Amino acid sequence: MPIKVPAGLPALQNVMNEGHAVELLEAPTAQTLRIALLNIMPMKETTEADFIRLLSTSDEEIELTLLKLDTHTPKHASPEHMSRYYTSFNDVRESRFDGLIITGAPIEKIEFEEVTYWHELCEIFEWARKNVTSTLYICWAAQAGVYQKFGIQKYLLPAKMFGIFPHTIAKPEIPLFEGIEEPIYVPHSRHTELHREDIVAEKRLELLSESELSGVYIMQEKGTKDFFITGHSEYALYTLDGEYKRDVAKGLPIELPLNYYRDNNPANEPVNRWQATAWKLFGNWLKYYCK
């Protein structure tokens, strides 16, 4: 179905150049879902393309608003790009959205309260409770969300969780998992984790999906339509490849991403185990939780 994004957004053209059929929504209708993306990842255009690629495969009409923090100036995006395509959080305080996606950020090793924009982010978390029908907290944002809401800590891993990991489904009967079968393959790329025992001990949280290798994956706050997702279902095929080769070139300690390259050989193509499931997962979120 059609998607409406800020006019002229380069990421949209990038997705279309990849061969993805994206239909543009000229004007919102009564059925259009208003979805906001709070993009705190450093490479703005890459993340924009990731979510446009994912959301545009759904059966819903979507109007996508790109949100930016008022207390943080990105280092890897031009001021022109941010001012032209992004809306300040201050400008949407009185607005309502059907869905909100809050991305991760490569700041896992920093204590939450030491993040320069932590107070504004917490304000957005609270604002979303009253003004958003359903919120997805992705990767670091998932860790930040369960910390701010429930006091659950993140823990440093001995090595980066890196690769494509299989996950089980605890509640296959709920709408989020309609048409999805085990195992769910999901990209992970992080240095910290949440401990399962902390999640199951919190009575306000429900653990919906997990992996023996990569740990907790999807959690839902009971009584709400809010989900905390530790993986990166939105990643493009070559995202992990780029991360791996970047770190190798820098001489950083990095293991081969697990279950990613064909025959575990970085000279071969990656195997796309996750994208079809990601389309269903996000399509179900839009269809059943954002209305």
Q: Which residues are catalytic?
A: 139, 232, 234
**What DSSP string runs through the chain?**
--EE-STT-HHHHHHHHTT---PBPSS--TT-EEEEEE--SSSHHHHHHHHHHHHTTSSS-EEEEEEE-SS---SSS-HHHHHHH-EEGGGGTT--EEEEEE---S-TTS-GGGSTTHHHHHHHHHHHHHHEEEEEEETHHHHHHHHHHH-PPPEEEEEEEEEEEEEEES-TTSGGGTT--SPEEEEEEEEEE--HHHHHH-TTEEEEEEETTTEEEEEEETTSS-EEE-S-TT--TTHHHHHHHHHHHHT---PPPBTTBGGG-TTSPBP--SHHHHHHHHHHHHHHH--
